[in-house]
Structures are given as structure tokens and as C-alpha cells.
Amino acid sequence: MSKSSVVFVCRDCGGESIRWGGQCPHCRAWNTLEEFRAARGGREPRGVARASAPARLVPITDVEVDAAPRLILAWNELNRVLGGGVVAGSVVLLGGEPGVGKSTLLMHLAAQAAADRRVLYASGEESAHQVGMRARRLGVATPGLLLLAETDVDLVVGAIERESPAIAIVDSIQTMHDANVEAAPGTVSQVREAAARLMRAAKESGVPVFLIGHVTKEGAIAGPRVLEHMVDTVLYLEGERGQDFRILRAAKNRFGSTEEIGIFSMSDAGMAEVRDPGVVLLGDLRPVPGTVVLAAMEGSRPLLVELQSLVATAQYAGNPRRSANGVDLNRLHMLLAVLENRAKLRLGERDVFVNVAGGIKVIEPAADLGLALSLAGNVFKQAVRPDTVIIGEVGLSGEVRRVGRLERRLQEAARRGFVRAVVARGAVTPPDGMELVEVLDLSEAIDAVFPAHHRAALEMPGGTR
């Protein structure tokens, strides 16, 4: 009978302690230590050096970086988020809310890679029959897609080494079980050991491994925080149940930028990439007070989005509501204070609601001017011209500042048919056929977008109440 040792593992940082305590000795987090019993039967104890030849040191300039080219998928949206394709031997962790489409997305990815090669799909949550039914419903069933309904990580690793597939998908990492660890699947020790086994298999065989991870109610991937440090790429699939769009973001990527996003549409037939997001995100623009068009940058791609706001009489006096969907709530509070003090618009006692259409999140300061003019349009009951795009950052003194990559944003707006742009004052060459309205501060921007004589009566005492 094998002996076992007991250690306590922090579920946040993965640090170990030989005795339990209320506080982790490594990351100082409270109540995060969990018991971990490791059997010492057939596996070599940690810290014991193997008798082997000395490690061979290689100058970094001699490393062949082009020896293993990326696997290019059929969907450019996936390639963009991954940094240009799938890197050989990489480990990618995909998280998201239940039902958002994680398994569906990776099933499409598997079908694209299995067009001329083999792909291993290891399912620990569904039987092979259930996965086969889903593949046929999505129309991605192909002989190159090999199914393995198994939770034993040893069998999954063995299948990867034996079959050497183009891609291996594990659905999900929380269901994998290592027989050498005396703990239930999904616990800190099991998730960490199973991920470590799969990571070693990926690095040694050169097979890219995709892991699906469950998330907690706070939206973080369940399990030890060290899991995200171990893998090469961490992706999150976002989307509301009532919306067709799904957004894939990279929170970590060792092989590319984390600023890129991929946009997909969800339907009964599965998922499809949105090749031209501007067409579906903008829709039919109407001159409605509070509606403006912003030019945001998502990585290297300019994206035109529609921002809507609504200003209403506060339902509870002295306690106005502030709701922001798609923009930073703290940024909204700052702009409300700037409008109140610099532009003399009375918004302190009004309910304010802001929404970015399509479920897109705009967190860069380039949205400041558009958001401020959207709120001002509600006060004046005037709409911004539908052929106008607004780009600029607003400071605490009310000044409007230029933003990065302004030329690319303007070119995208011109390509979409916009003929007018409100930007910060500065030297920039507009695209052919586009009029630039250059402003110095927020008050000047309001005067340029909304006729001054309509504002005069509203800015009088009691005019905006």
C-alpha cells in the first residue's frame, strides 16, 4: 500500500504549506488553503533529480523559430485573437459563462483543423454519443475528428502521444482526474496536476492543446489561479443569452497581442464568424437624441460602434441612478462631473443610462467625447447628425485631446460612408470627402454639434430640470 503525504495548497497562487493556516504564507490571501494528499506509489517524488546527461545550452540566436509554423484556421477571427494562428505545442485555456458557446466554438475549430488531418476531442462531461449528436447538428462531423469520452488524464495524454493529432481539445479541465492524486476531480490539486500533465504532453509532442475551463460566479476561471499562469494563452468568450453576438478576448497571449477581439454570431445552426463587424454593429442609424457613433480601436482593427444614452428625471430625489453597459462606470461619473462643472449642464440630479449596442465594451479614453456629446444631446433634446463620427479624449478641465491612430479611425469611418468627424484640434489629414470639425474643449464641441441658440434657454436656472 502506498504512503501519502499531506500538504496544503493555495487555490489562488498554488503555493504549498506543510501545515494549515488561515493565511497563505506566499500570497497572504485568507482562507485559501486546501488539503492535498499526494500518493507516493509509482511516481518519482518532487525535488529528486533524475540521473541524466547534463542539459544542453543553446544560444537564443540559434533557436529555429520558423521550424514549426502556425496552423492557420479557416476563421480569421480566431486567427486574429490567437496572434496569427495556432502555435505548435501551445496550451490555450478557454473560459466563459455556462451556455455561452465554449464547446460549440472549439467544435468548429476542431472541424476546421480536421479537414486534412486528425483532431482529438476528449470530453469528460459528455458521452461520445452526445458529442457526435452535437457535431452532426452543427454540420461539422468529419472522419478526422476523433472522440474520446474519458476523464482519466493518463488515457488522454496517452491518446495524444499515440495519435499525434493536429490539435487536442479537452472539455473540460475540471473533469480530468489524475489517479496519483487523492482528491476529487475539480479540486485545486486535481486541476493543477491534470493541467501540468497536459502541458508537458503538449511541449514534448508539439501538439497544441485547448482546455475548456469553468468559471466562478465572479467570472474568473474556476480552480487555482496558477492555472492561468501555466498555460500560454487565456481566452474568454463573452456574450449575453439574449444576443446573437459572441466576443472572444485574450486575457493572456504569449504569442500575440491581448488587445485583439474576435466577433462571432450564434444561432441554432452553431457559430459563425462576423467578417465585417461594422455592418452588424451599426445597423440603421437614426437621428435620435443620445445616439452617437464612436471609432474605437480593438487591437489593430478600428471598429465603429453605436453608443446610446438616456437622461431622465430621477425616480428617487437625491439618489440618481447611474447605469453603464459597455463603458466604464467610473469614466461615466467623471464625464458627468466635467459636464456639470465645465459645460454648465445640470445632470447631478438625473438618472443616466448608457449602453453600447451589440454587447461591445469600449474602455479606451477615445470614447469620452462621444459619450459626453451623447449625454448633452439628451439635455438639449437634439440628435447628432447620423453621418458624424466622434473621436476624442476629455480631460478634467474640459479640454479635448487627440487619441492614438486617429488616421486609421478616420479612414474606417470614411469607408463606412461618414462624411463628418468631430476630433481634437491638431494637424491631421482627413480622408477624401470627409469634413473635420476640430475642437479645443468640451464647450466648443457642444457649440459645434448643437446650435447655441437652442442651449441658451436650457442653461438658464431651472432650464435643465
User: Which pLDDT band, with edges at 50, 70 and 90, does 461 fall under?
Assistant: very low
Is residue 280 over pLDDT 80? no
User: Mapped to the 3 state alphabet, what secondary structure does 45-58 carry?
Assistant: CCCCCCCCCCCCCC
Higher pLDDT among residues 330 and 39, named by residue: 330
What are residue 388's phi and psi, to 5 degrees?
Answer: -110, 135
What are residue 351's phi and psi, to 5 degrees?
Answer: -75, 135
The model's pLDDT over 126-159, given as tens digits with 9 standing for 90+, comes to: 999 999 999 999 999 999 999 999 999 999 999 9
pLDDT value for 40: 47
When pLDDT is averaged across residues 295-321 and rounded to a whole number, the result is 89
Cβ neighbours for 375, distance < 8 A, ≥ 6 positions apart? 290, 309, 311, 335, 336, 339, 345, 347, 352
What are residue 210's phi and psi, to 5 degrees?
Answer: -105, 125
Of 158, 183, 187, 193, give the one whose Cα is nearest residue 174: 187
User: Which pLDDT band, with edges at 50, 70 and 90, does 181 fall under?
Assistant: confident
Is residue 57 over pLDDT 80? yes
Q: To the nearest whole percent, how much of the chain has pLDDT over 90?
A: 61
Least-confidence region, from 92-96, 162-166, 275-279, 393-397: 275-279
Collapsed DSSP state (helix, strand, coil) of residue 107: helix
When pLDDT is averaged across residues 187-203 and rounded to a whole number, the result is 92
Is residue 375 over pLDDT 80? yes
When pLDDT is averaged across residues 366-383 and rounded to a whole number, the result is 95
Of 361, 363, 388, give the one whose Cα is nearest residue 450: 388
Of 388, 386, 420, give the one whose Cα is nearest residue 285: 386
The C-alpha angle with vertex 49 and arms to 53 and 206, in degrees rounded to 5, equals: 65
pLDDT value for 224: 67
What are residue 54's phi and psi, to 5 degrees?
Answer: -60, 145
Cβ neighbours for 276, distance < 8 A, ≥ 6 positions apart? none
Distance between CA atoms of 245 and 141, rounded to whole angstroms? 24
Of 113, 99, 389, 90, give the one whose Cα is nearest residue 250: 90
The model's pLDDT over 330-346, given as tens digits with 9 standing for 90+, comes to: 999 999 999 999 999 98
pLDDT value for 223: 66
Of 214, 175, 225, 243, give the one whose Cα is nearest residue 96: 214
- For residue 429, the number of C-alpha atoms closer than 13 Å in the C-beta half-sphere is 1
DSSP letter, residue 138: H
User: Which pLDDT band, with edges at 50, 70 and 90, does 51 fall under?
Assistant: very low
Distance between CA atoms of 402 and 415, rounded to whole angstroms? 21
The C-alpha angle with vertex 248 and arms to 106 and 333, in degrees rounded to 5, equals: 155
Categorise residue 420: left if φ over 0, alpha if ψ from -120 to 50, beta otherwise: beta
pLDDT value for 11: 74
User: Which pLDDT band, with edges at 50, 70 and 90, does 68 fall under?
Assistant: low
When pLDDT is averaged across residues 427-431 and rounded to a whole number, the result is 85
When pLDDT is averaged across residues 20-25 and rounded to a whole number, the result is 81
Is residue 16 over pLDDT 90? no
Distance between CA atoms of 230 and 196, rounded to whole angstroms? 8
Give the three cell numbers for residue 279.
455592418
What are residue 364's phi and psi, to 5 degrees?
Answer: -85, 155
Higher pLDDT among residues 421 and 7, named by residue: 421
When pLDDT is averaged across residues 206-213 and rounded to a whole number, the result is 96
Tell me the pTM: 0.78
pLDDT value for 457: 46
> What's the mean per-residue pLDDT of the chain?
87
Of 365, 370, 396, give the one whose Cα is nearest residue 449: 370
Is residue 43 over pLDDT 60? no
Is 433 exposed, middle or buried, given 0-12, 13-18 or 19+ CB atoms closer than 10 A?
exposed
The DSSP code sequence of 186-241 is TSHHHHHHHHHHHHHHHHHH---EEEEE-B-TTSSBSS-THHHHHSSEEEEEE--T
User: Does the bond joining 103 to the residue before it have cis omega, within 30 degrees of 0?
Assistant: no
Least-confidence region, from 210-219, 245-254, 292-301: 210-219
DSSP letter, residue 174: G
When pLDDT is averaged across residues 387-397 and rounded to a whole number, the result is 96
pLDDT value for 454: 54
Distance between CA atoms of 448 and 291, rounded to whole angstroms? 16
The arrangement of strands across the sheet holding 16-17 comes to 16-17, 4-10, 33-39
Distance between CA atoms of 367 and 236, rounded to whole angstroms? 23
